Amino acid sequence: MIFKDKILRHLFLLIIVMLSSNYSVAQTKKIPEKKTQKGFVKTDFLSINMPETQILNEPNMGFSGIHYNIYLNENFYTGVGIYGSVTGKRGGFFTLGINAGFKKYLNEKLYIDTGFHFGGGGGAGAPDGGGAFILPHVNLGHDFKHFSLNTGWSYVNFFNEGLIKGNQLNVALEIPLNFNYSSYKNTESTFSSDVLRTSSWNQKTKKTSFMLHFNNLDVTKANANAAQIIEGKTIRLAGFEFANYLSKNWFAFLKLDGAYSGIRAGYMDVLLGAGYHFSFNKNRTNILTKLGIGAGGGGGVDSDGGFLLYPDISIEQKIFNNVYISLNKGYLLTPSSIFTTSTYGVGLKYYVERNGTFSDEKKFSNGKFKGIEIVLKQDWYFNAKRMTNPTQDMHQISLQVNLDLNKNLYVAGQTSFANFGDAGAYAEGLIGFGVKTNNLLDKNTAFFTQILAGAAGGGNISTGEGLIIKPSIGLDYQINSTLSLRSALGYVKAKGGDLSNPFINFGIKYYFSFLNME
């Protein structure tokens, strides 16, 4: 009996020691370091002199872009940008590209900004060739603290068999937009709110939302030249929307859509705007009003210069955690009403309270670090089928953003624009899911497989009404804590079109994690 009591006492002491050790380890688990990436949003405008083609005395094309750039050091920056036609006769002309630049302050207010943009795209029957173009600039700017304005010389050249080139003045507005982040290795690490409040993350959260949606455009009015083709039809779109809250109720949003059914492939729109958020039913039900402006066209849609207005109202209902289902109703039209539609759609939205520990709206019990991957790559389509021209290879520049659902599963959004292969007007807008392994092979190589689907068209590529599916497999090779090289191979198939071919791509991935409070 005494022997048994001794054994029980020793077991009890051993359990106490083990629990104490685990508690000590849990309490000393290091909170990831909060880092700050400096950057800025830029919107610019240039008036491009168009060459003489089938449109006699064609007016200049008003080319407007939106970009996000990050600073590599005090002066050098890089980023991505998308341009679209907003005035002239080429509505539906879009491009995607990468930026690189150097900004040097001459004094506290004045600065010189010289940079370079390389991209691909086209559309609206413009003489864009394969789509590849360069756009260097040299600007003089003035910093007004919360924003800056700059203007200067720029040069555009669609050099791959295109006819669009020339010098022009450009004007730009820049707004500083920094973000906090942590190393990607901290993805899925969870900490209690009490612990996080003792760290540098103890600040007010910033609210952000991501939405994958399907939208429909009922065409009520069209230009006489396009009326027989699209008037009375419903254009079915797929796309994604990103919104960032400026205050409790006001938010800014960016929305990208592409047509996958209803009309000839090729229509897309890109909209930027602001909205107001009303919450009811203990934040389980929301009503959002939005007003956006942007560019759109293609697929037989005559949107004049491409400038569009987008008033919209939507209602959202929480289905679980931070996920809502959204129903929307609105209008999309040109200011001249040459193209007018009634819009409605459905979406799946995910809200994030990021990079802080407290909010005016809710209390949090813990925070989890979530991974973001931004992939810039070059696709190579082998023997991409055309509607009329001889079949040949096609190349496109592509931007993909992945949001990790856990360490091995992610949701993805991708947009791509042709830049070589005589298909400058071709573009894609895709969404989907992917699965990836943990790092293997000396902990610097990961494998993945993904399947994307959505809208594609233009450039005489045979995609039917625009719906394509695009599975692929590939690998990432880690260079450092924020960059990896990426390569993949896959297959693309158009529903209702002849596009059906293998492809490969090569690119670079930038990745980090952010704190999401729950």
Q: Do domains 36-179 and 367-517 have the same CATH topology?
A: yes
> Rounded to whole angstroms, what are the CA distances from 125 to 53, 251, 302, 494?
10, 36, 11, 22
Residue 91 has pLDDT above 80, yes or no: yes
Whether residue 121 contacts residue 96, with contact meaning beta carbons closer than 8 Å, is answered with: yes
At 3 the pLDDT is 43
CB atoms within 10 A of CB 175: 11
Pairing of strands 285-297, 307-320: antiparallel
pLDDT band at 10 (very low <50, low <70, confident <90, very high): low
Say if residue 118's pLDDT is above 60: yes
CA distance 310 to 459: 27
pLDDT score, position 6: 52
Residue 250's nearest CA partner among 280, 207, 285, 292 is 207
Confidence of residue 221 (pLDDT cuts 50, 70, 90): confident
Read off the pLDDT of residues 173-188 as tens digits, 9 standing for 90 and up. 999 999 999 999 999 9
pLDDT for 19-59, tens place per residue? 444 444 344 468 999 999 999 999 999 999 999 876 668 89
Structure tokens at 125: 């029957």
Q: Give the model confidence (pLDDT) of 271-293 as tens digits.
A: 999 999 999 998 899 999 999 99
pLDDT of residue 226: 61
The confidence score (pLDDT) of residue 15 equals 47
**What pLDDT does residue 302 have?**
85
Mean pLDDT is lowest, of 81-85, 90-94, 221-225, for 221-225
Over residues 359-376, the pLDDT tens digits come to 988 889 999 999 999 999
pLDDT (average), residues 223-252: 85
- On the question of pLDDT at 80 being above 50, the answer is yes
Longest dimension (CA), the chain: 108
**Per-domain residue ranges for the chain?**
36-179, 206-354, 367-517
Task: Give the per-residue pLDDT at 227.
Answer: 56
| 18 Rama class: left (phi>0) / alpha (psi -120 to 50) / beta | alpha
Helix (H) or strand (E) holding 515: strand 500-517
Q: Any residues with CB less than 8 A from the CB of 103 and at least 6 apart, and which? A: 75, 77, 111, 112, 113
Which pLDDT does position 133 carry in this prediction? 98
Report yes or no: 265 and 464 within 8 Å, Cβ to Cβ: yes
pLDDT exceeds 70 at position 303: yes
**Which residues are CB-neighbours of 102 under 8 A, at least 6 positions away?**
75, 76, 77, 113, 114, 115
* b/e map 258-295, b = 16+ CB within 10 Å: bbbbbbbbbbbbbbbbebebeeeeeeeebebebebebb
Looking at the predicted structure, is the pLDDT value of residue 169 above 60?
A: yes
Distance (Å, whole) CA 255 – CA 349 = 13
Give how far the C-alpha of residue 37 lies from the chain's centroid of Cα atoms, to the nearest Å: 18
Candidates 3.20.10.10, 2.30.29.30, 2.40.160.20, 1.10.3720.10; CATH matching 367-517: 2.40.160.20
Find the range with the poorest average confidence among 46-55, 74-83, 118-127, 176-185: 46-55
Percentage of the chain with pLDDT > 70? 93
Q: What is the pLDDT of residue 9?
A: 56
Report d(CA 300, CA 268) in Å as an integer. Answer: 11
The mean pLDDT of 445-455, rounded to a whole number, is 96
Q: Please report which residue ranges of 357-436 form alpha helices under DSSP H.
A: none
- Rounded to the nearest 5 percent, the helix, strand and coil shares of the chain are 10, 60, 30
Alpha-helical runs (H) found in 152-215:
193-196
Closest CA to 50 of 135, 136, 126, 130: 126
Distance, CA of 36 to CA of 101 (rounded, Å): 20
**What DSSP character marks residue 34?**
P
Helix (H, G, I), strand (E, B) or coil at 15: helix
Low-confidence winner among 71-75, 79-83, 235-239 (lowest mean pLDDT): 235-239
Whether domain 206-354 has CATH 2.40.160.20: the reply is: yes
Amino acid type, 397: I
Q: Distance between CA atoms of 309 and 395, rounded to whole angstroms? A: 32
pLDDT over 90 at 230, yes or no:
no
Enter the tokens of residue 221: 């009015």
Contact between residue 189 and residue 516 where contact means Cβ atoms under 8 Å apart:
no
The CA–CA distances, whole Å, from 17 to 26, 30, 412 equal: 14, 22, 46
pLDDT of 463 > 80? The answer is yes
Average of per-residue pLDDT across 485-506: 96
Interstrand relation of 409-420 and 250-261 (parallel, antiparallel or unpaired): unpaired
Q: How confident is the model at residue 101 (pLDDT cuts 50, 70, 90)?
A: very high
- Supply the Cα-derived Rg of the chain in whole angstroms: 25
Question: What sign for the dihedral angle of Cα 52, 54, 59, 65?
Answer: negative
Q: Report d(CA 516, CA 191) in Å as an integer.
A: 10
Average pLDDT over the chain reads 91
Least reliable range by pLDDT among 134-138, 229-233, 338-342, 498-502: 229-233
Residue 223 has pLDDT above 90, yes or no: no
CATH no. for 36-179: 2.40.160.20
Query: Confidence class of residue 455 from pLDDT cuts 50, 70 and 90?
Result: very high
List 120's β-bridge partners, or say none: 96
